[in-house]
Amino acid sequence: MTIRFAVCGTAFWAEQVHLPGLMAHSDLTVAGVWGRTPERTRALADPLGITAFDSFDSMLDAVDAVSFAVPPSVQAELAPIAIARGKHVILEKPLGPTIDGALTILRGLAENKVAGLCFLTRMFVDEMDAFVSEARAINPREGFATFRSGALLDGPYAGSAWRQEEHGALWDAAPHGLSVLVSVLGPIAEIAASLGDDGTYEFTCRHVNGGQSSFGLNLRDASVKLAESYRFQNGKTVELPSLPYNRKETFRKAADVLLQEISGRSDGKSAQLDLALHLVCVATAAQQSLSSADAFVRVQTPKP
């Protein structure tokens, strides 16, 4: 049976990543799109020849799976409804705006026996797969990551209200670098965070296995469009100085993983749900570190 998808959301990421990524996949059908603004929904749907659903419920009635491209608070509200209706889901990061929100989604997936996936972008880039394998092979004890851009100053994300909120950059972009650090060095036990006057977050992580990592993040750097790099070392050094990738192809790959989950052909790890929950817990601890006198805050990741 061909899985019928709809996209929930009509902003830049829905238009430029979710919809084209799904439509590039030969083994699924894109039925339509729903958003809170009918005019915007029709403007997005009509050129593609798909349905502009007039309500969230009518969208759920027509599809087997939903791809969410909405702010975290909206995803936390709507995804559990879709899951309770038996719909498979592709979710954006952060998995939830709170740990409880993320757990509600994960428990709903288990209770309703539907497939879910969190689109942690870097985890679906082929070049990153190869780099993570290479880095793990040297059994590194230290990791370093940087992620700098002017995304919140100009461009499609500058008008994103949730990203412009206090620590919105942390919740939006920290999962990029942290997902790589955790994939190589393992779960984070403690994190310390600081925020500079120029908007730079500095994170220092102590990993469960004894390794350490640091990560610099700034989405208000007017000097670069995007500068992203990773380095791991333990006597030997493995480095990824940049990460160009095709957004549409990356999302198509994520959709393929979800189809494997639906058909039972996956080991369950590729959907990145455990990692996504851990990253919500890491971001929560990092935010606590920013507002407390304690440099390091323990990361507590509960079982779903």
CA dist., res. 262 & res. 116, Å (int): 9
Report H helices in 18-71.
19-23, 38-45, 56-62
**How many residues are there in the chain?**
304
User: For the chain, what is the mean pLDDT?
Assistant: 97
- The distance in angstroms from the start CA to the end CA of the chain is 30
Sole residue written with tokens 């998808």: 5
61, amino acid identity? D
Give percent of the chain with pLDDT exceeding 90: 95
Q: How far apart are CA 2 and CA 55, in angstroms?
A: 23
**Spans of all domains in the chain:** 3-121+247-268, 123-243+279-298
Q: Which two tokens stand for residue 184?
A: 């190589």
Looking only at the bridges linking them, the beta strands covering 142-149 and 226-234 are antiparallel
* Average pLDDT over every residue of 178-205: 98
Note the CATH architecture for domain 3-121+247-268: 3-Layer(aba) Sandwich (3.40)
Q: How confident is the model at residue 264 (pLDDT cuts 50, 70, 90)?
A: confident
- pLDDT, tens only, 96-151: 999 999 999 999 999 999 999 999 999 999 999 999 999 999 999 999 999 999 99
pLDDT score at 199: 96
Residue type, 243: L
pLDDT digits (tens, 9 = 90+) for 138-189: 999 999 999 999 999 999 999 999 999 999 999 999 999 999 999 999 999 9
The structure tokens listed for 83 are 């899951």
Tens digits of per-residue pLDDT, 17-50? 999 999 999 999 999 999 999 999 999 999 999 9
User: What pTM did the predictor assign?
Assistant: 0.96
Per-residue pLDDT of 51-70, as tens digits, reads 999 999 999 999 999 999 99
Q: What is the pLDDT of residue 268?
A: 64
Position 30: which residue type?
V
Q: What is the predicted pLDDT for the residue at 167? A: 96
Mean pLDDT, rounded, for 235-251 = 96
Q: For residue 56, what pLDDT is reported?
A: 99
- pLDDT of 87 over the 70 cut: yes
Whether residue 33 contacts residue 44, with contact meaning beta carbons closer than 8 Å, is answered with yes
State the alpha helices, DSSP H only, in 95-219: 99-112, 126-137, 161-164, 168-185
Please, what's the largest Cα pairwise distance for the chain?
59
Q: How far apart are CA 80 and CA 248, in angstroms?
A: 26
**Residue 236, pLDDT above cutoff 80:** yes
DSSP state of 24: T
Superfamily (CATH) of domain 123-243+279-298: Dihydrodipicolinate Reductase; domain 2 (3.30.360.10)
| Nearest of 122, 4, 20, 105 to residue 53 by alpha carbon | 4
